Structure formats: C-alpha cells, structure tokens
Amino acid sequence: MIHETIKLFEHSSATLATYVLQDGEFDRKNTVRPAVVICPGGGYAHISQNEGEPVALAYARMGYHAFVLNYSVKIQNPFPTALRELAKAVSIIRERSGEWLVDTNDITVAGFSAGGNLALSLGVHYKNAIVTDDIGLASEQIRPNQLILGYPAVTLEPRSLETPPFLIELMEKGLMPDFRGPDIREILMGKENLTEEEKKSLNLLQYVNEATPRTFIWGTYEDSVILPTDLLGLAGKLFENKVPCELHMFEKGPHGMSLGDATVKSEEQANALSLGAWVDLSVKWLAQGRGR
C-alpha cells in the first residue's frame, strides 16, 4: 500500500492521506481501480478518527484505492474553506491517476455526518465559481462521479437547542468530543448569532439539481443528531431531479456508527445491529452503476 500525506494548500494545514493499493502482478498487473475519498465527520469542529482510516481500509479490502481528507475545521475556517480543500483533493487524484492507476471516471466521495455535508456540498456546488475560481480548477477536474453519505447533515436543523445532560456528562468524561461552543451553522458562516436567512442558506436541499452525482444514503431512525427527515428529504429531492439514488434507513443505532463493526465500536454493540451491512450494500451499488 502506498501511504503518504499530501498537503493541499500552502496556507492550510489540510491534508489528504493515501491508501493506494500496490500494482498487481501477472494477470493483475496494471489494474486500474476505482477510488473513494472519505470525509470524516465531527461537526466541522474536529475530525473523527473512527470515520477515516477504518473506512479507508474497509474499501481497500474490496479493491478500491482510498483517500482520507483531513480538512480544516473550527469557526476560523468557514464555508467554503473545507469545500475547496475537498475539490483540490479530487483534482489531485485525477492528476495522479496514471501513477496510482485510478479510474478517473469512477471517483466516489464518501462522507459521514458533517463530512456528509461536505461531500454533498461538492456534489451540488462543483460548478459554482465560489469553488472553482479560487483554486483555479475546472468543474470536470473536481466533480465526484458518485456520493456515499452516511447520516449526512443536510438541512442543519438541530433536533434540540439544548445539549442533553447525558451528552454533557460524556463530554466532560472525555468519552466523546466536546461540541459546546459555536454550532455547525455558526462554524460554516464564520460567526455567531446568525439571522434566519443565513441559517436557511446552509440547507443543502435547495441546491440539489439534475447534475448532482448519483447518491447512496444511509442512516438510522434512532439517530439523535441527524433527523431521519433529512435523509428522506434528500432522497425526495434527488428523485425530483431524476438523480439515481439508493436510501437505507436502519431502525436501530445511534449517531456516528461509522462501519458499525468491531473496528470502531464494541463487539457487543456491533453484533446487535444490522447497520454494518451498509458497506457491502454500497459496494454493490457502486458496481451496478458502472457503465451507465
């Protein structure tokens, strides 16, 4: 495996970690493979480790070149900072496709939670001048061929204005990231005390269009952070725009389950849930879309 860390911009600490499979031998030599770029979640406040390397290795085991984007976070890096970083990462993969043996027509961007927001943002904004002009790239260089979105933050409408006491207890014990402070919408806008109009501008449903890449979506009804209606609303918008889509809504499972297996969660929790099936389902979905 070719594992390197690529700095995306001189003025940014954002990096792209590669999990590129070595070239095969004999009859497998010079095999050109699909690629998946992974955007971990973390509320744009931090980068979730559980949704990065473990996911990359899972796809690598299935024959994909994988990449993990460590994008800029926190309120001093508002929209479209991380979006431009993701766009640059996709362009680098296409530029180095000959070296890495990447199929330039089969590059998927996968994201979880806030990373799902980032992945979908590229899917709806890759033609937008706010992305292309600043980094000097054409839309063809940065367009994802497919999107895989795990419990994505789509509307950014919070379930509750107050953080439940049990979550505060977990934060204070260091058992989960501390999300107190600016919320995801304030981080994206780069300021606090947003107007209703500013909040509405961050809802990605309004930007879904017929040029949005085909999309695989999954989440759970029990998610206490991302509303199931976000996922249903997104699938509905894709349908309206005739964009191929597959949606899997699992009954059980909290937010942030990543692979849903023992690499990221306790074996007891993982064995009790069916949501880990999303990985195999996504690979089958990717395969059935080839040659469209």
| Pairing mode of beta strands 146-150, 214-220 | parallel
List the domain boundaries for the chain. Answer: 5-286
Nearest to 85 by CA among 121, 58, 59: 121
Instruction: Look over the chain and give the mean of its residue pLDDT values, rounded to a whole number.
Output: 92
Say if residue 168's pLDDT is above 80.
Answer: no
The tens digit of pLDDT for each residue in 122-142 reads 999 999 999 999 899 999 999
pLDDT band at 269 (very low <50, low <70, confident <90, very high): confident
- Please state which architecture CATH assigns to domain 5-286: 3-Layer(aba) Sandwich (3.40)
pLDDT band at 271 (very low <50, low <70, confident <90, very high): confident
Q: Report pLDDT for 180.
A: 61
Q: How far apart are CA 124 and CA 70, in angstroms?
A: 21
DSSP class of residue 215? E
Q: How far apart are CA 80 and CA 77, in angstroms?
A: 8
Nearest to 219 by CA among 268, 265, 262, 255: 255
How many Å separate Cα 50 from the centre of its chain? 13
The tens digit of pLDDT for each residue in 2-58 reads 999 999 999 899 999 999 999 988 888 999 999 999 999 999 999 999 999 999 999
Burial class of 223 by CB neighbour count within 10 A (0 to 12, 13 to 18, 19+): buried
Q: Report pLDDT for 106.
A: 98
Backbone angles phi, psi at 127, to 5 degrees: -95, -5
The tens digit of pLDDT for each residue in 228-268 reads 999 999 999 999 999 999 999 999 999 999 998 888 888 88
Q: How far apart are CA 172 and CA 283, in angstroms?
A: 38
Cβ neighbours around 287 below 10 Å, total: 11
Nearest to 125 by CA among 246, 133, 230: 133
The tens digit of pLDDT for each residue in 173-209 reads 665 555 666 899 999 999 999 999 999 999 999 999 9
107 close to 90: Cβ distance less than 8 angstroms = yes
Q: How far apart are CA 13 and CA 83, in angstroms?
A: 14
